[in-house]
Every structure is written in structure tokens, then in C-alpha cells.
Amino acid sequence: MKLSTAELFVFDFDGTLAPNLDLPEMRRRVIALTRAQGVPAAHFAHLYMVEIITAAGAWLASTESSPGSVQHAERAEAYQSQAHQLIEDFELDAAAGMEVFPKTREVLGGLKQADKRTSIVTRNCEQAVRQVFPDVDDYCDLLLARDNVEFLKPDPRHLQCALTHLEGTPQRSVMIGDGRMDMQVGRTLGLTCVGVLSGSSDAPALTAAGAHFIVENIAELAAHL
């Protein structure tokens, strides 16, 4: 599909519309907290961050974690709330003083003027996104942050939610992101996928993950619209 014929543009946030979060550091901190609870790495090492907290919490709540103890549920709950707080604090710290990329408003504003629909689909929390992009609602039809949805990408239901609410069809929709999971989730639903190099991945990684094509950043994307 030519991008100029697309009707719905779904953007990732961090690394795509704004500078990337230090996700490796955030992950290190979540893992350190999880290890400190005695959760075996095999239960979480392969997972994304929020999923680590869910899986480790489930393990802590199980009898396997501390046979004979009756405190499973309390311990699991305390861990989960501490871990979620860690992520949120990290996101809000990173958001303080951060701005969207210089061309973000121009690109989104141009899409709006051309009567295209736009959504942001992000695993970041809504408060952090709004801190970085306070006027997001003026530029974007639908923000679907972590706390706005039940299922997070790479679960396709996160992206499907944007298509459903904005009446987008996969044939006329584009997923734009800096992460491999953005390309994977876009491909799963049959969207055209554009990888941007302004975040966490290089061109070979994005291509291998399913990008139909690659641009340096969203400013360059505008040239294709």
C-alpha cells in the first residue's frame, strides 16, 4: 500500500514520537527487585517488563515459592505494587523535562489536516505521555497507554483496540515504531509497517521483525505522505 492512501496511522510513542526511555536500565531494576524476592530467573528472564511482574507475582502467590507459609498472596501483592511503582517512577522521572521530537507536532498536524486518523499505542503510562506531550489530544485522535487497555503489545489486542475505535482496516492502516514488537504486532494484524531509526533498533532488526520499509525518523516519514 502507498502511505498516501492510508487512512489510519498508529504510532508507538517512546523512540518514535519522543526520545526513547532507557528501557534496559528499567529492566535491570525490575529484575533486581524480582530476584531479591527469590523468584527463579526461569520464570521471568524471557519476558517483557510488565509481564515479568505478572509472572513473578503469580509465582510468589503460588505455594511453590514458600512451602508452609500462609503469606503468599500478601507477599505477591506487595511485590507487584512495588514493581509497578518502580516502573511508573522511572517513566515519570524520564518524562520530566523531556519533549517530543521537533517534527512530531508538524507530522501529526499534517495528518490531521489531510483528514487522516491517528492513534498512539504505547506500553508507557498515560501520565508520562501527557507530561512529555501535554497537547497530545490536539494532535492525536486516540491515546492508548498502558493504563488505558487490558492487553499490551505485542498482544495484538492493543493495536486492534485502535483499529476498532477509529474504524481502521488493516489494508488502510500503518503501524509506525522503533521497536521490533511494533513491527511484529503490526504484521500480526496485517498492517503496513514502517520502522523508524530514532529509537532502540537498527534497520536490519526492524526489517527482520517485519518492517515493510524504514525511515530515519518521523520527519522523513512525512515525505512519503
Q: Which residues of the shown chain bind Mg ion in the complex (CB under 5 A)?
A: 12, 14-15, 178-179, 199
At CB < 8 A and 24+ separation, what contacts does 200-204 make?
200/15, 200/20, 200/23
Nearest approach, Cβ of 12 to Mg ion (angstroms)? 4
Nearest approach, Cβ of 120 to Mg ion (angstroms)? 11
Closer of 179 and 195 to Mg ion (Cβ): 179
Crossing angle, helix 72-95 and helix 49-61, to 10 degrees?
160
Nearest approach, Cβ of 75 to Mg ion (angstroms)? 33
Whether the Cβ atoms of residue 161 and residue 168 lie closer than 8 Å to each other: no
Closer of 15 and 186 to Mg ion (Cβ): 15
What is the H or E stretch that residue 82 is in?
helix 72-95
Nearest approach, Cβ of 199 to Mg ion (angstroms)? 5
CA 110 – CA 122 distance, rounded (Å): 21
Closer of 168 and 195 to Mg ion (Cβ): 195
Closer of 170 and 179 to Mg ion (Cβ): 179
> In the complex, which residue's CB is closest to Mg ion?
15
